Amino acid sequence: MRPIVLIGRASSLRISSIPRCFNPSRRSSLSALAPSAYRSSSRFLPAFASLSRRSFKPDTCGPQARHSYTGGMAGNREAADQPVHAGERQPQGSAALPEPWLRGTITDLNPVAAQVLYTFQHVQEDLSRWTSGISDSAVWRWPAPRIPPLGFHLKHIPGAADRLLTYAEGAELNAAQLAAARRELEPEFTLAELMSRLSRSLADAEARVRRLAAIPLDQARSVGRLHLPTTLGGLLVHIAEHSQRHLGQAIVTAKLVASGAIV
């Protein structure tokens, strides 16, 4: 089942991803899947109404129902073979590039180190796309209590990579790194400054990953004051997955900001 992603402005909320075998005649199934905040919102009804204008094939389920509504990518085998994420704006035209990890551009490193660098590239490309047009004040707007603003993620992604790479190098965090971690929620930079700092930090992180790539991945490492055990490979994998986790959160937050849902 694919998640429902609600995006768009208050007057034109739309649903960009639906369960593969969703039956549009069963309103209760959509209501149960939609976030509770939207079920009680006047913006939910126009979004639901848009479903009736799509042409579904509710009798097709399973692998053959990858795109069960007309107007999607069904029939476009080349496009259908590319990874597609719910709610993502897809580039138009035959020149559109696949995601960085599918481009095969890094051939001089072991696969684990290469995936970390692909992740850094993916982070920069997606953040550049999804933060475009967002105001400096909106960057630091909290979507909800305990859900941090976009600016936090733009500081935390490179900051966490720096700290994890320090452990990967067999070192301990210094006072400056600890102080930077405590300031990640402070609204102290504009969007342009945040993106510039992120780009510089990830460029430095790439150089560090390349140096680490010559070391066996099973070499022992420890993390934090408690010196929790891991390996160099474990840290590199976590850098990639942690960066992607916060990239996803940043994109969702950016969509909410752009839609006007956060005021």
Mean pLDDT across the stretch 243-259?
95
pLDDT at residue 263 in the model? 64
**Average pLDDT across the chain, whole number:** 76
Distance (Å, whole) CA 243 – CA 121: 11
Q: Bin 87: left if φ > 0, else alpha if -120 < ψ < 50, else beta.
A: left
Statement: residue 24 has pLDDT above 80: no
pLDDT at residue 83 in the model? 52
Phi, psi of 59 (to 5 degrees): -90, 0
Q: Which residue has the higher pLDDT, 8 or 103?
A: 103
**Tokens representing residue 171 in the block:** 């070192």
* Sign (positive or negative) of CA dihedral 113, 116, 118, 120: negative
Q: Which domains does the chain have, with CATH numbers?
A: 1-90 (no CATH), 101-259 (1.20.120.450)
**Range of lowest pLDDT (54-63, 79-88, 170-179):** 54-63
Give the best-scoring range by mean pLDDT among 24-33, 41-50, 215-224. Answer: 215-224
Place of tokens 């102290």: 188
Q: Which residue has the higher pLDDT, 40 or 142?
A: 142
pLDDT at residue 237 in the model? 98
Distance (Å, whole) CA 96 – CA 22: 30
Mean pLDDT across the stretch 149-157?
98
> How far from 45 is each of 26, 41, 48, 129, 176, CA to CA, in Å?
14, 8, 5, 29, 50
pTM over 0.85: no
**Tokens representing residue 72 in the block:** 């999607």
* CB of 20 closer than 8 Å to CB of 68: yes
* CB of 77 closer than 8 Å to CB of 174: no
SS3 for 7? Answer: strand
Statement: residue 182 has pLDDT above 70: yes
Mean pLDDT across the stretch 163-183?
97
pLDDT for 70-112, tens place per residue? 233 333 334 434 454 444 554 443 347 899 999 999 999 999 9
Place of tokens 């969007």: 191
Q: Which residue has the higher pLDDT, 134 or 97?
A: 134
pLDDT at residue 52 in the model? 38
